[in-house]
Structure 1
Amino acid sequence: MVLAVPEGAHAVRLGNEASIRQQLTGLAPRAHYSVTFSAARTCAQAEQLNVTVGPESGELPIQTVYTCSGWDSYSYAFRARHTTAWLTVHNPGVEEDPACGPLVDAFAIKTLNPPHHEKGNMLKNGDFEDGPYIAPDNAWGLLVPPMDEDDVSPLPGWMIMSDTKSVKYVDAAHHKVPHGSYAVELVAGSECALLQEAWTVAGRAYRLSFSVGDAGNGCAQPLAVRASAGYSSQVVTYESQGTGGSRRGELEFAAIADVTRVVFQSANHYMKPDGTLCGPVVDDVSLVSVPKHEARLLFM
């Protein structure tokens, strides 16, 4: 079996119940960190990796391949409890073929900024400028896998909800990004949701604004994003030529509770000519309270 290695000349294949581990030192207690690495499955369709740092652990499903090379880069986040912790990556699978087992390579760690609001925006990290480390030679983006609601997110302020699918974190160095240096590509259709909860006042009017575009990666087709807040939703379509570009979308709604969940999903599944998954890019998201005189017009 001949397997390509994404970086350098060597990688590690994890056999059945195999693990690799390294002690992390110099951590700041209570600080948030993201771990990024590349992984590829070899044979099985349902391979996964368990990542553990101290008492925290998570499962990274790697059965869906998002690149034509067979390698994807993943992110995982954790909150440091002490100044040192063991990082462990474990293959829990039991494959019939001993030559199978996922490959891992190119590990890195980054300190994450705490989620915070920008002036005039009720959402945290609405422009996605805070996020996991993307290597300078990574031209395919970084997957942010699904997580439990109590997990630390590699995208501060945001959660990814799905059973096995991910969203892709992309940078302006290798992709077309509507605003700033980073954005999120919704590559898994309606099977995955990008969401954040914001404090609201029931009955008050709000406006959700965002950019929808394409990453300039050949995803040439009408790309649609469904934005939802409370009981309201709006589908925004961008006529993509696969070369970049974006348009603004807006959703005005009345809050129905003290907490409103803002959700973004790709309205359809999309695929590039090479057979790899792609999707609309979401960026520059903001949530603001609508002034009373505008709110009266909204509900007339």
Structure 2
Amino acid sequence: MTGSARSVVALLFLLVGSAARADSAVTDGLLPNGNFEDGPDKSQLNGTVVTGRYAIPNWEISGFVEYIESGHREQDMILAVPEGARAVRLGNDATIRQRLSVTRRAYYSITFSAARTCAQKEKLNVSVTPEFGVLPIQTVYTSSGWDSYSWAFRAKHSVVWLSIHNPGEEEDPACGPLIDSIAIKNLYPPRRTKGNMLRNGDLEEGPYIFPDATWGVLVPPIFEDEHSPLPGWMIMSDTKVIKYVDSPHHRVPQGARAVELVAGRETALVQEVATVPGRSYRLSFSVGDAGNGCKDSLAVEAYAARATAKVPYESQGTGGHKRAQLDFAAVANLTRVVFQSFNYHTKPDGTLCGPLVDDISLVSVRKRAARL
């Protein structure tokens, strides 16, 4: 081989190697092969078990990972896939991860779909080094068994590893959750405005919602997520969530996004805001239903300082809303604004549902002087 030919071959190897090491460029939406439709070569499969660490394009795996096609039958259970025809299943101590190029110090949210299979107390570790969260997925919020979850992080580096890990220790190593449709979204946390002391009061800034997903996205409690996928707001709960819904699939009171309180009194939507003790304030908000068949006597409880308001809403399950307000006097320099569903509710198919909250604003009000 001549010197020039050797140089061409070396250049080709260099280009191929660089392509193999290239990081995924982050744009809002599915990650590269985020829906796992591009699968392993048959030579890297032992039945459904993936045998090669890099067998799934754009992903690196470790542990017991299976490549599942929709309709796959296992004992007396048929495994469905929410999007496309393929998904992965993470067995005991299994991990799937992808390296991403991000903007340092920027905020991002991850959205992915997951479904339980045979384990009863499944949970998932989601991490972008050095941050991680533990998401409990034992409660199912859809009739299909698939839910979309969100998790947020602030990038500490310009190149990061996104990992989803099943820490389970089941007797059957294959008894783990199915994972599909992993997406990312750049978050732009809104600031308070002159007309609203709350950040993201219209709830328009939040996690990525898949265009074909009719079930919304679950936002985890703050204990599992240092940076909320719903900027400005904290989800207070032990293991339950709120549901973030969109106008293409739900009846939203205002704009394109709203929050459905699906876990009764176990979960609260909370924001802390700076206030002046003794000053009067007015909290205004919309209460309604998502038009998703949640037909019941719904009610939202709102709290601020020492004031409380219970706002009832008779839902026919077809959409609609009404405005409500809570006037209060601040008693501290920091006031928590809190929303909870007054009770638990279910749709005819047995899945959890609840009242919508949207278009939330907080303003300072001046009390008129009493006439002599």
What aligned pairs does 1:1-300 form with structure 2 within 5 A after superposition? 1=74, 2-25=78-101, 27-148=102-223, 151-293=226-368
**Shift of residue 135 of structure 1?**
1.1
3-state DSSP class of the match of 2:265?
helix
- What percent of counterpart residues are identical? 69
Contact 2:259 2:356 in 1 (8 A): yes
Question: 1:208-254, CA deviations, whole angstroms, 9 ceiling, x for partnerless residues?
Answer: 11000000000011110010012211110111000000011111111
3-state DSSP class of the match of 2:358?
strand
**Shift of residue 44 of structure 1?**
2.0
Contact 2:251 2:291 in 1 (8 A): yes
Cα distance, 1:188–1:170 mapped onto 2, change above 3 Å: same
Structure 1: how far apart are the matches of 2:269 and 2:256? 19
Greater per-residue helix proportion: 2
Please say which structure displays the higher CA radius of gyration. Answer: 2
Contact 2:134 2:224 in 1 (8 A): no
3-state DSSP class of the match of 2:222?
coil
**Shift of residue 42 of structure 1?**
0.8
**Shift of residue 149 of structure 1?**
8.9
Give the AA of the match of 1:62. I
3-state DSSP class of the match of 2:215?
coil
Structure 2: how far apart are the matches of 1:74 and 1:247? 29
Structure 2: how far apart are the matches of 1:81 and 1:154? 17
Structure 1: how far apart are the matches of 2:276 and 2:228? 26
Structure 2: how far apart are the matches of 1:94 and 1:149? 21
Could you tell me which runs of 5 or more consecutive residues in structure 2 were left unpaired when the two chains were aligned. 1-73
**Shift of residue 150 of structure 1?**
7.7
Structure 2: how far apart are the matches of 1:135 and 1:232? 38
Higher RCO (Cα < 8 Å, 6 or more apart): 1
Contact 1:51 1:87 in 2 (8 A): yes
Structure 2: how far apart are the matches of 1:151 and 1:71? 25
Structure 2: how far apart are the matches of 1:121 and 1:223? 26
3-state DSSP class of the match of 2:223?
coil
Q: Could you say which residue in structure 1 is the equivalent of 2:24?
A: none
Give the AA of the match of 2:226. D
**Shift of residue 293 of structure 1?**
1.2
Cα distance, 1:265–1:108 mapped onto 2, change above 3 Å: same
**Shift of residue 130 of structure 1?**
0.5
Structure 1: how far apart are the matches of 2:239 and 2:309? 25
3-state DSSP class of the match of 1:11?
strand
Larger deviation, residues 170-179 vs 284-293: 284-293
Structure 2: how far apart are the matches of 1:133 and 1:225? 26
3-state DSSP class of the match of 2:337?
strand
Structure 1: how far apart are the matches of 2:323 and 2:287? 6
3-state DSSP class of the match of 2:98?
strand
**Shift of residue 97 of structure 1?**
2.5
- Please give the root-mean-square deviation of Cα atoms over the aligned residues, in Å: 1.4
Contact 1:118 1:125 in 2 (8 A): no
Q: How many residues align?
A: 295
Give the AA of the match of 2:90. L
Structure 2: how far apart are the matches of 1:57 and 1:234? 36
Give the AA of the match of 1:86. W
Structure 2: how far apart are the matches of 1:258 and 1:242? 40
**Shift of residue 148 of structure 1?**
2.7
Structure 1: how far apart are the matches of 2:225 and 2:162? 20
Give the AA of the match of 2:204. E
Cα distance, 1:283–1:46 mapped onto 2, change above 3 Å: same
Give the AA of the match of 1:22. Q
Structure 1: how far apart are the matches of 2:134 and 2:233? 18
Could you tell me which runs of 5 or more consecutive residues in structure 1 were left unpaired when the two chains were aligned. none
